[in-house]
Amino acid sequence: MLVALIARDTAGALQTRLDNRAAHLAYIEETGVVSQAGPLLDDAGGMIGSLVILDVDDLAAARDWAANDPYAKAGLFQDVELVPWKKVVG
Output the pLDDT for position 63. 98
Do the Cβ atoms of 22 and 30 come closer than 8 Å? no
Cβ-Cβ contacts under 8 Å for 11 (sequence gap 6 or more): 78
Cβ-Cβ contacts under 8 Å for 54 (sequence gap 6 or more): 2, 3, 4, 5, 33, 34, 35, 61, 62, 65
**pTM reported for the whole predicted model:** 0.93
Output the pLDDT for position 69. 98
Output the pLDDT for position 82. 98
pLDDT by 10s per residue, the chain, length 90: 999 999 999 999 999 999 999 999 999 999 999 999 999 999 999 999 999 999 999 999 999 999 999 999 999 999 999 999 999 998
